[in-house]
């Protein structure tokens, strides 16, 4: 199997930066809501070295790579510690802290898509059919476009993956608020298993083509298409207003 080394390196860099910003926003919102736990541990920073760890940044991608036969390699950063009892309004603020990460990735994907579309519209020799159309010209500009494509894809992937309502993912923090108290306690108990439920889900989706295709289409591809289409519309509007 041929490995595109430059693209692999770009993927790792984009993933590390995006995951670090994701975790930093968890820390920032927690600090803003009254919990200084993450700040006290030096996590209120964009420095990737403060957010990466062996379990999520090395072991998790290896396990999911082999578990899904290379189809869905997952990776992440070290979860930001949050003490909900230090938050001003624990239930509500804990959900705010959780959703801050995915919303940050959605924002990064959106602005990345706007830059990508802007470049494609402004550079006359680039294929304008789609922001994700392949570009065969080996120029530096095409390299920038490839990195921006990765930036959008990785950040959308991080956002939508973390919004899956299964512990310990961020989406579960919001989903649990809609559960009755008795069910919520059992749901919270899944936290003790770490990423095991997520890995099981990935294996099931990989082994069930129909379900996997449905989830891929409606949970990942369509939201990505919506964000790119919205960015395209706004980028065209901005260029028309400025006369570019």
Catalytic residues: 23
CA separation for the pair 43, 47 (Å, rounded) = 8
- Cβ neighbors of 66 (< 8 A, separation 6 or more) are none
CA separation for the pair 218, 98 (Å, rounded) = 22
Task: State residue 124 phi and psi, 5-degree precision.
Answer: -65, -30
Ramachandran region, residue 18 (left: φ > 0; alpha: ψ -120 to 50; beta: rest): alpha
**If residue 231 lies in a helix (H) or strand (E), which one and from where to where?**
helix 222-242
DSSP-assigned letters across all residues of 49-107: GGT--HIIIIIHHHHHHHHTTTS------PPPP--GGGSSSHHHHHHHHHHHHHHHHHH
CA separation for the pair 84, 127 (Å, rounded) = 50
Q: What is the DSSP letter of 124?
A: T
- Cβ neighbors of 165 (< 8 A, separation 6 or more) are 171, 172, 174, 175
CA separation for the pair 168, 114 (Å, rounded) = 31
Contact 30, 87 (CB under 8 A): yes
């Amino acid at each position: 199997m041929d490995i595109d080394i430059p693209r692999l390196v770009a993927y790792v860099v984009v993933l590390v930066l995006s995951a670090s910003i994701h975790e930093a926003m968890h820390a920032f919102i927690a600090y803003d809501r009254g919990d200084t736990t993450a700040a006290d541990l030096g996590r209120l920073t964009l420095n990737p070295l403060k957010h990466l760890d062996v379990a999520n940044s090395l072991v998790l991608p290896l396990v999911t790579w082999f578990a899904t036969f290379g189809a869905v390699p997952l990776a992440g950063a070290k979860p930001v510690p949050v003490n909900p009892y230090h938050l001003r309004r624990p239930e509500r603020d804990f959900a705010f802290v959780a959703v801050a990460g995915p919303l940050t990735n959605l924002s990064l994907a959106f602005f990345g898509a706007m830059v990508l579309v802007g470049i494609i519209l402004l550079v006359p020799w680039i294929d304008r059919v789609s922001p994700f159309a392949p570009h065969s010209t080996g120029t530096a500009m095409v390299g920038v476009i490839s990195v921006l494509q990765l930036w959008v894809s990785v950040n959308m992937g991080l956002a939508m993956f973390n919004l899956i309502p299964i512990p310990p993912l961020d989406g579960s923090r919001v989903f649990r608020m809609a559960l009755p108290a008795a069910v919520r306690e059992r749901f919270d108990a899944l936290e003790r298993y770490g990423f095991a439920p997520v890995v099981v889900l990935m294996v099931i989706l990989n082994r069930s083509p129909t379900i996997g295709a449905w989830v891929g289409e409606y949970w990942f591809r369509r939201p990505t298409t919506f964000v790119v289409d919205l960015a395209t519309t706004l980028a065209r509007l901005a260029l028309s207003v400025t006369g570019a």
